């Protein structure tokens, strides 16, 4: 036994005690420990039997061989009893109090082991249901490490396979794919659209790489936000200018200084929020003035003009998302999409077979890409480059993130969207059926396509239908493609409008006036009562 104790034995100090639900893991750990001690035979063999020989004292002849045999049997019995006590002590020591009280009266380690195995280790149909239910209820959450939860899933799958329930690795991977947390929905949709099925090990390798990339991106984002607010590092040129104007700056500071009790001049202890230094305020900071001059000299990379200059929106990302004339402002789209081929100013057919991943886990083919010119109601022109032509879409989408990248400011308030740049108004939109529609003047090359439900060619009919509005308003509606009239130049006079413009006089005009003698009877001179 002294040689056995020198071996490296498993540490059982942290092993969970047997409570009835963990018998499989508990029994495997103890078996490994007993094998190291070479006492595991006690659990599977009966104690040695001692052969008793009846001899007559008068005729018995004791030989040397019989004495050696009895001595060996005594040694085996003593060793078995010692090993039995060792195994029994370990079995009882790693049980809960309830099971300990139940098996403490058993003296044989083999009896305890067989009883536990028949009670908790048998092939039970209820255990299969329990393992399958645990497999189906497993769910990955965001609060824990993804790989730790994946290892837990592998253990559950191993328990299912140990219950003689066969399951291929592709099914194991597909079930794990559905257990992704909500933050991994985009990555799950990406894996679903792969043409080749992934095995469980391949899926775990993909998840390990994705988790490492996400942790790296999170560290970069956290480090970018750790910069101290209101802290500006001055450049060398600004430091030189600050030193050249130091005398004038000191003069301004001394004017606002005061003397202390010791008679010395004390500077103001206020701190400038522009450069972070003490002794002056922000409006006195020369670094701020230099920045203002620099900003005035810098030319913007994108100019917005009233006439011919246009805004160019360039696509740099490829993460893609039944009115085919209106343009919807979508802040969730990373590219511009158009469902109407007639709206393209320049168009090129697609030959690479690019696909768009939709929000409902479906794909749509890209038939081409090109350039779209949108004339806003403010008179400015918005040009969208590399617009993807997807006929299966029901709306035309403008990416809000791409507009923001070129310096446009998008404000959503009061069911309206307002687009500005550096304080200049560019365009606006309105909320319609939960979507922000941009006010544009569409220029469709196909003149036969009509946006109105009425096939009307006369402007006079629209004049009467709209309540006799002026013809200028009808022409404005026609330019906005709200109504359709083939000829708006011939405007006949409306009789109703002409009669409505007549002015009625309060009294009937006098056509004849008496001027000779006795043609007029003056009521103030005549006395009519006498003749009645």
Give per-residue pLDDT as tens, 296-338.
544 434 333 333 333 333 333 333 336 677 888 888 887 888 8
* Report field, pTM of the whole predicted structure over 0.75: no
pLDDT for 232 equals 46
Per-residue pLDDT reduced to its tens digit, 358-407: 766 677 888 888 888 888 887 778 888 888 888 888 888 888 888 888 88
What is the bridge-based pairing of β-strands 424-432 and 435-438?
A: antiparallel
Residues 314 and 429 in one domain: yes
Residues 173 and 194 in one domain: yes
Position 72 pLDDT exceeds 50: yes
Residues 179 and 95 in one domain: no
Residues 321 and 413 in one domain: yes
pLDDT for 420 equals 87
Domains of the chain: total: 5
Q: Which residues touch 394 (CB under 8 Å, ≥6 apart)? A: 322, 323, 324, 339
Determine the structural domain holding residue 75 and report its residue range: 2-53+65-120
Alpha-helical segments (H) within 138-285: 146-162, 169-178, 185-192, 200-224, 236-244, 246-255
Domain assignment present for residue 502? The answer is yes
pLDDT for 514 equals 66
Domain assignment present for residue 187? The answer is yes
Q: Which two tokens stand for residue 224?
A: 């970018």
Q: Which residues touch 524 (CB under 8 Å, ≥6 apart)? A: none
Residues 275 and 188 in one domain: no
Long-range contacts of 46-55 (CB under 8 A, 24+ apart): 46/110, 47/77, 47/80, 47/81, 47/84, 47/108, 48/73, 48/76, 48/77, 48/80, 50/74, 50/77
Q: Which residues touch 348 (CB under 8 Å, ≥6 apart)? A: 368, 369, 370
Domain assignment present for residue 315? The answer is yes
Residues 427 and 326 in one domain: yes
Residues 506 and 458 in one domain: yes
Position 339 pLDDT exceeds 60: yes
Q: Does 442 or 106 have the greater pLDDT score? A: 106
Residues 91 and 155 in one domain: no
pLDDT for 210 equals 87
Q: Does 243 or 526 have the greater pLDDT score? A: 526
Domain assignment present for residue 278? The answer is yes
Per-residue pLDDT reduced to its tens digit, 159-199: 888 777 888 888 888 888 888 988 888 888 888 887 788 88
Residues 360 and 408 in one domain: yes
Residues 425 and 514 in one domain: no
pLDDT for 478 equals 80
Residues 293 and 332 in one domain: no
From 151, 185, 218, give the residue that closes a domain: 218
Nearest to 5 by CA among 69, 117, 86: 86
From 202, 218, 234, give the residue that closes a domain: 218
Per-residue pLDDT reduced to its tens digit, 488-517: 556 777 888 888 877 776 666 666 666 666
pLDDT for 7 equals 60
Other C-beta atoms lying within 10 Å of the C-beta of residue 463 = 21
Q: Which two tokens stand for residue 264?
A: 């010395």
In the block, tokens 């990248």 appear at: 405
**CATH number where 377 lies:** 2.40.70
From 218, 236, 254, give the residue that closes a domain: 218
- The mean per-residue pLDDT over the stretch 108-115 comes to 89
Q: pLDDT over 70 for what percent of the chain?
A: 67
Other C-beta atoms lying within 10 Å of the C-beta of residue 531 = 6
């Amino acid at each position: 036994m002294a040689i056995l104790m020198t071996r490296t034995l498993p540490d059982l100090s942290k092993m969970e005690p047997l409570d009835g639900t963990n018998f499989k893991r508990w029994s495997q750990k103890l078996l490994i420990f007993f094998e190291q001690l070479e006492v595991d035979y006690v659990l599977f063999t009966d104690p040695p039997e001692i052969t008793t020989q009846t001899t007559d004292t008068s005729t018995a002849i004791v030989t040397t061989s019989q004495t050696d045999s009895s001595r060996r049997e005594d040694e085996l019995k003593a060793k078995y009893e010692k090993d039995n006590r060792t195994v029994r002590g370990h079995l009882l020591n790693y049980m809960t109090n309830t099971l300990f009280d139940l098996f403490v009266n058993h003296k044989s380690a083999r009896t305890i082991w067989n009883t536990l195995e028949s009670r908790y280790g048998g092939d039970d149909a209820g255990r299969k249901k329990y393992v399958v239910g645990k497999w189906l209820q497993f769910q990955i959450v965001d609060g824990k490490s993804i790989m730790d939860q994946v290892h837990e899933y592998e253990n559950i799958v191993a328990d299912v396979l140990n219950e003689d329930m066969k399951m291929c690795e592709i099914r194991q991977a597909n079930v794990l794919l559905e257990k992704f947390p909500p933050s991994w929905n985009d990555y799950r949709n990406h894996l679903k659209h792969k043409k080749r099925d992934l095995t469980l090990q391949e899926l775990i390798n993909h998840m390990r790489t994705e988790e490492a990339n996400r942790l790296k991106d999170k560290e970069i984002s956290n480090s970018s936000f750790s910069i101290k607010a209101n802290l500006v590092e001055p450049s060398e040129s600004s430091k030189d200018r600050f030193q050249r104007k130091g005398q004038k700056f000191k003069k301004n500071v001394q004017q606002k200084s005061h003397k202390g009790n010791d008679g010395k001049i004390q500077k103001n202890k206020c701190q400038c929020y522009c450069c972070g230094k003490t002794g002056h305020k922000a409006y006195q900071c020369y670094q701020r003035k230099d920045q203002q001059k620099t900003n005035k000299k810098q030319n913007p990379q994108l100019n917005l003009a009233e006439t011919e200059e246009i805004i160019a929106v360039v696509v740099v990302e490829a993460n893609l998302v039944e009115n085919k004339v209106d343009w919807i402002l979508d802040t969730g789209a990373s590219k511009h999409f158009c469902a109407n081929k007639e709206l393209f100013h320049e168009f090129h057919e697609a030959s690479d077979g690019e696909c768009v991943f939709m929000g409902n886990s479906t794909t749509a083919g890209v038939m081409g890409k090109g350039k779209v010119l949108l004339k806003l109601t403010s008179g400015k022109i918005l040009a969208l480059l590399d617009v993807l032509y997807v006929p299966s879409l029901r709306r035309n989408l403008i990416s809000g993130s791409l507009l923001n990248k070129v310096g446009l400011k998008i404000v959503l308030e009061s069911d309206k969207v307002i687009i500005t740049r550096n304080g200049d108004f560019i365009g606006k939109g309105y909320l319609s059926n939960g979507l922000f529609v941009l006010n544009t003047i569409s220029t469709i090359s196909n003149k036969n396509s009509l946006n109105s439900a009425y096939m009307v060619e006369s402007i006079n009919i629209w004049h009467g239908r709209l309540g006799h509005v002026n013809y200028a308003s009808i022409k404005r509606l026609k330019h906005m493609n709200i109504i359709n009239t083939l000829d708006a130049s011939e405007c006949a006079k409306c009789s109703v409008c002409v009669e409505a413009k007549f002015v009625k006089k309060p009294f009937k005009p006098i056509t004849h006036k008496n001027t000779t003698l006795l043609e007029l009877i003056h009521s103030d001179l005549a006395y009519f009562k006498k003749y009645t």
